[in-house]
């Protein structure tokens, strides 16, 4: 088991609902934290003077380099990265009911891939380099989704999350000999503002009913999975599903 007290942890996307739950649990365990988020108002939601808030677009290489450098300056060393950046997006490949735009928009494809897949790649690359060059036995926790298996109506989002699971497996093999673990968390549907913004109430209700536990997850339930992935020193290369049985 990894002792989190005094360890430096970066939470990317930490201004979001799940990110804030992760931060809260890590703080309880004595971790020293930095948040990377592109939301200019996110510092008010994190609201902790002891947490470094670094505003940056996680899909921009230069911005990530600066933010990771800022985190290192504050924390000294980064022992763990939690990659919970990204957005949920629903859009069918073809919609005959929308003659104005029947095909999935290229613009939304690019935006979803950038905010989910590219951001995860950028952050992991910079932090893994820091860990490797400083001989830190660290851990990177990425965020996938049950959508990675192919949710209808979520072409771009599902592709991004499937890519994150593939990268997790690749990096676990590449970085394992250096003592760096890589794990993915795949939540089901979580009761957060972003879920309600992306999906209609009818669709949220339907997915809740289709989940064997008949409800959505809470942000804290997902955060518990993140803490487990960080603390258990023999978990790597796997995607941990926290979905109420939805993927069974």
Given 53, 121, 157, 171, the catalytic residue: 157
**Taking the CA atoms of the chain, what radius of gyration do you get in angstroms?**
18
Spell out the SS3 assignment of 24-45. Answer: HHHHHCCCEEEEEECCCCHHHH
Three-class SS of residue 246? coil
Residue 107 makes CB contacts below 8 A (sequence gap 6+) with none
63-68: long-range contacts (C-beta < 8 A, 24 or more apart)?
Answer: 64/36, 64/122, 64/123, 64/126, 65/126, 67/36, 68/10, 68/36, 68/123, 68/126, 68/127, 68/130
Closest by Cα among 85, 87, 70 to 33: 70
Active-site residue 53, yes or no? no
Longest dimension (CA), the chain: 57
Q: Among all residues, which ones are annotated catalytic?
A: 157
């Amino acid at each position: 088991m990894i002792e989190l007290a005094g360890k430096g942890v970066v939470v990317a996307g930490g201004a979001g609902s799940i990110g804030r739950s992760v931060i809260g649990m890590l703080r309880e365990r004595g971790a020293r934290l930095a948040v990377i988020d592109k939301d200019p108002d996110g510092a008010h939601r994190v609201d902790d003077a002891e947490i470094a808030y670094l505003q940056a677009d996680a899909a921009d290489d230069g911005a990530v380099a600066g933010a990771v450098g800022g985190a290192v300056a504050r924390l000294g060393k980064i022992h763990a990265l939690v990659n919970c950046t990204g957005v949920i997006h629903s859009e069918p490949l073809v919609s005959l009911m929308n003659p104005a735009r029947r095909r999935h928009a290229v613009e939304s494809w690019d935006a979803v891939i950038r905010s989910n897949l590219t951001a995860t790649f950028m952050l992991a690359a910079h932090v893994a380099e820091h860990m490797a060059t400083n001989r830190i036995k660290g851990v990177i926790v990425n965020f996938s989704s049950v959508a990675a298996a192919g949710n209808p109506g979520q072409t771009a989002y599902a592709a991004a999350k499937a890519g994150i699971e593939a990268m997790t497996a690749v990096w676990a093999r590449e970085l394992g000999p250096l003592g760096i673990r890589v794990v993915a968390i795949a939540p089901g549907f979580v009761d957060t503002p972003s879920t309600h913004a992306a999906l209609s109430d009818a669709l949220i209700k339907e997915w809740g009913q289709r989940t064997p536990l008949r409800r959505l997850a809470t942000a804290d339930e997902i955060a518990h999975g993140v803490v487990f992935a960080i603390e258990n020193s023999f978990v790597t290369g796997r995607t941990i599903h926290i979905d109420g049985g939805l993927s069974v």
